[in-house]
């Protein structure tokens, strides 16, 4: 008895038959096996063109003499004149008034700078020997000349005294600033010593940088 007749007599539906017909000509046979995960990952990591390196590869470090990138955060140079040193110095207002020109801005010892010519020692000037002039020769021209000379001498004394007062206040401020800077240098040297010790310990364990 045939198998299909036996199944039909017992009420059992026949099993579906597999199509063993060959593929039509011109169509490639479908691949039954899907690509594995390893194949996909290797294909994704492989470069498309053999001449172009993969972007995942690590870049080589910058060698000496090689130009640095333009976007590197390089600190800009600092103008020494713009540095403000915290100094606890408050001059006497009366001394500032004696060091300032009336009607002009108050003298500031933090900003005023003197040139080398201004700080040179001034020679001692001997006064001219007085010449006795009789009263009958003291006319109006004589008295006008005397008043003019006296005004010029007074302006010269006031200007010299003003400069001396300014130099004295400026020197006092610089003494305070020098002391503050020395303390700051001492603190920075102490901090630098700590950094050197840390670097020496690192190089002893991991080698030079």
Q: pLDDT tens across 153-187, in order?
A: 999 999 999 999 999 999 999 999 999 999 999 99
Residue 94 predicted with pLDDT over 60: yes
Question: Residue 111 falls within a domain, yes or no?
Answer: yes
Q: Exposure string (b/e) for 65-98, b if CB count within 10 Å is 16 or more?
A: eeeeeeeeeeeeeeeeeeeeeebebebeeebbeb
Residue 151 within a domain? yes
166: number of Cβ within 10 Å? 21
The pair of structure tokens assigned to 63 is 């060698």
pLDDT band, residue 73 (cuts 50/70/90): low
Residue whose C-alpha is closest to residue 97's, from 152, 161, 173:
161
Rounded to 10 degrees, the C-alpha dihedral 197/200/201/202 comes to 120
| Contact (CB, 8 A) for 86 and 180 | yes
pLDDT at 38: 44
**Of the ranges 20-34, 106-120, 130-144, 159-173, which is most confident?**
159-173
- Domain residue limits at 127: 91-208
Answer whether residue 58 is part of any domain: no
Q: Residues 109, 91: contact at Cβ < 8 Å?
A: yes
Question: Which of 175, 177, 174, 169 has its CA nearest to residue 106?
Answer: 169
Residue 86 lies in a domain: no
Q: What pTM value is reported for the model?
A: 0.54
Q: Supply the pLDDT for residue 1.
A: 54
92-105 mean pLDDT? 88
In a domain, 71, yes or no: no
Q: Report the domain count for the chain.
A: 1
**Is residue 5 one of the residues assigned to a domain?**
no
Domain membership flag for residue 202: yes
Q: 199 Cβ partners below 8 Å, 6+ apart?
A: 209
In a domain, 84, yes or no: no
Average pLDDT over all residues of the chain:
75
């Amino acid at each position: 008895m045939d198998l299909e007749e036996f199944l039909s007599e017992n009420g059992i539906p026949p099993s579906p038959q597999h199509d063993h017909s060959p593929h039509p000509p011109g169509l490639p046979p479908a691949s039954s096996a899907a690509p594995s995960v390893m194949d996909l990952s290797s294909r994704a990591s492989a470069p498309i063109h053999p001449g172009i390196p993969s972007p995942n590869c690590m870049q080589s470090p910058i060698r000496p003499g090689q130009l640095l990138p333009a976007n590197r955060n390089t600190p800009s140079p600092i103008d020494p004149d713009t540095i403000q040193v915290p100094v606890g110095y408050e001059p006497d207002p009366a001394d500032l008034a004696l060091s300032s020109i009336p009607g002009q801005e108050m003298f500031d010892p933090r900003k005023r700078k003197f040139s080398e010519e201004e700080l040179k020692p001034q020679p001692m000037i001997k006064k001219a020997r007085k010449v006795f002039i009789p009263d009958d020769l003291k006319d109006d021209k004589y008295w006008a000349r005397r008043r003019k000379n006296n005004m010029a001498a007074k302006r010269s004394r006031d200007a010299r005294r003003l400069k001396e007062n300014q130099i004295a206040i400026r020197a006092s401020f610089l003494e305070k600033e020098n002391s503050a800077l020395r303390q700051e240098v001492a603190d920075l040297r102490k901090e630098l010593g700590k950094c050197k010790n840390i670097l020496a310990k690192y190089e002893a364990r991991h080698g030079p940088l």
